[in-house]
């Protein structure tokens, strides 16, 4: 069986851990020949290149800049990516017949590529829905609903959904939203395919890495609250800055922010101006080093803009659960992340903007080591039961090996 996987994720190193690399490696371990197409952004100055590791063929395609850039440049690069991908696939994978094409959002502009192989090879098509666009952009006032730009992307979105034989959503709330706002979809073709990873082995004891903490001047005796990931408009940066301003109220707490994005410089400038003594900002780290920091942290943080109407589930949830970190989330009220935290017993949730509740929960977690331990264990158990790619990959295999008549 041959599977074509299209993504905007950075796949330079297929052995690196993450929701997409873990997914591809797990598919490959089942004997599937994987053909992965990912971008090499213009800023890297690297050419299009094909590499092979066992039965994983990784095609890195030179594209425009998509991440950490202006909305205009990102938009133009996203619109052109279909053409770049299709040209590269036809050049490097000429003789391959694809049994299934899998693609993740963002972007919503893979419709032409997936439809091309659906017609040419009668490939099954599977959408891993990680972002509902353009509505997400409407929610945070990047795009105006009803505008020419909105109509263009909404039309692309509908085509993508219609062309997809199956759509995998991150959560029940995510799935319910999709079906409610796209009534033409056959609900039998929509299912839950959550963010999932291959978890590292559990540690018997959690010991802080003194050398790593010293390297970044992080206090070993404090309770370290870590946020790791994108620092952009979707994260609700205004509230994060409020948290920075008031984190001195968290007894024995230390706030560590690790990431990059369009709002990174704004956060950096603010920290330099106010000079908080218990806050540290680090630029994006190599995955292996970031994982080591998570092992030495005490609480994982999640931030989302309060204006979101769509139930989003950030992928960093699995990273925190993997390392048995209790979670403190400040998001919109529509996400079912709050329900997941409650069901799993793995953390606390507040609506973004509720600074007093946030600080109260942070103080509680900072001072109660046993509470952190119990919540962390529950999160790890929930991960192993619900977000282990070795289990969830069977959702894809079921469709891949199913009867063609079922599609």
Return the closest-CA partner of residue 99 out of 27, 187, 45.
Answer: 27
pLDDT value for 41: 86
Q: What local confidence, expressed as pLDDT, does residue 107 receive?
A: 76
11 touches 20 (CB < 8 A): yes
Strand (E) positions, 267-394?
279-283, 299-303, 327-331, 347-351
Domains 2-197+388-406 and 210-386 in one fold: yes
Cβ neighbour number for residue 76 with a 10 Å cutoff: 15
CATH for the stretch 210-386 = 3.40.50.2000
Q: pTM here?
A: 0.91
The rounded distance, in Å, linking the Cα atoms of 111 and 350 is: 37
pLDDT at 406: 42
pLDDT for 403 = 53
Is there a cis peptide before residue 134, judged by omega within 30 degrees of 0?
A: yes
- In tens, the pLDDT along 261-290 reads 889 999 999 999 999 999 999 998 888 889
DSSP H or E segment with residue 52: strand 49-53
Pairing of strands 166-169, 190-192: parallel
pLDDT at 223: 96
Spans of the chain below 50 pLDDT: 404-407
In b/e form, how buried is each residue of 180-197, taking b as 16+ CB within 10 angstroms?
Answer: eeeeebeeeebeebbbbb
Domain parsing of the chain, residue ranges: 2-197+388-406, 210-386
CB atoms closer than 10 angstroms to residue 31: 8
139-148: pLDDT as tens digits: 999 899 999 9
Q: What is the mean pLDDT of the chain?
A: 92
Residue 9 CB neighbours (<10 A): 18
Q: At what angle do helices 111-120 and 71-92 cross, to 10 degrees?
A: 20
Supply the CATH classification number for the domain 2-197+388-406: 3.40.50.2000
User: What pLDDT does residue 407 have?
Assistant: 37
């Amino acid at each position: 069986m041959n599977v074509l996987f299209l993504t905007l994720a950075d796949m330079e190193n297929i052995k690196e851990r993450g929701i997409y690399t873990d997914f591809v490696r797990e598919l490959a371990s089942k004997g599937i020949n994987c053909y992965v197409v990912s971008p090499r952004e213009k800023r890297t100055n690297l050419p299009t290149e094909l590499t092979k590791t066992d039965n994983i063929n990784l095609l890195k395609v030179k594209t425009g800049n998509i991440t950490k850039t202006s909305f205009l440049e990102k938009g133009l690069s996203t619109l052109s990516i279909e053409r770049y991908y299709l040209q590269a696939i036809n050049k490097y994978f000429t003789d391959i017949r694809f049994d299934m094409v899998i693609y993740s959002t963002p972007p919503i502009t893979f419709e032409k590529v997936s439809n091309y192989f659906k017609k040419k090879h009668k490939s099954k098509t599977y959408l891993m829905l990680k972002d509902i666009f353009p509505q997400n952009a409407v929610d945070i006032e990047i795009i105006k609903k009803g505008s020419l730009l909105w109509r263009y992307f909404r039309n692309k979105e509908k085509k993508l959904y219609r062309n997809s034989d199956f759509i995998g959503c991150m959560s029940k709330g995510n799935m319910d939203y999709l079906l409610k706002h796209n009534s033409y979809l056959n609900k039998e073709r929509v299912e839950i395919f959550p963010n999932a990873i291959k978890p590292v082995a559990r540690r018997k004891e959690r010991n802080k890495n003194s050398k790593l903490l010293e390297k970044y001047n992080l206090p070993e005796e404090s309770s370290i609250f870590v946020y790791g990931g994108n620092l952009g408009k979707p994260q609700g940066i205004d509230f994060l800055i409020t948290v920075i301003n008031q984190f001195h109220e968290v007894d024995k707490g230390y706030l560590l922010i690790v990431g990059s994005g369009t709002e990174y410089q704004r956060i950096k400038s603010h920290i330099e101006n106010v000079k908080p003594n218990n806050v540290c900002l680090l630029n994006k780290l190599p995955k292996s080093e970031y994982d080591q920091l998570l092992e030495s942290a005490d609480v994982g943080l999640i931030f989302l803009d309060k204006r979101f109407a769509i139930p989003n589930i950030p992928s960093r949830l699995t990273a925190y659960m993997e390392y048995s970190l209790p979670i403190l989330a400040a998001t919109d009220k529509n996400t079912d992340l709050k329900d997941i935290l409650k069901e799993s017993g793995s953390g606390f949730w507040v609506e973004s903007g509720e600074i007093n509740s946030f600080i109260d929960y942070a103080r509680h977690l900072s001072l109660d080591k046993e509470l952190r331990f119990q919540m962390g264990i529950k999160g790890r158990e929930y991960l192993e039961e619900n977000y282990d790619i070795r289990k969830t990959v069977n959702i894809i295999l079921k469709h891949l090996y199913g009867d063609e008549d079922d599609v």
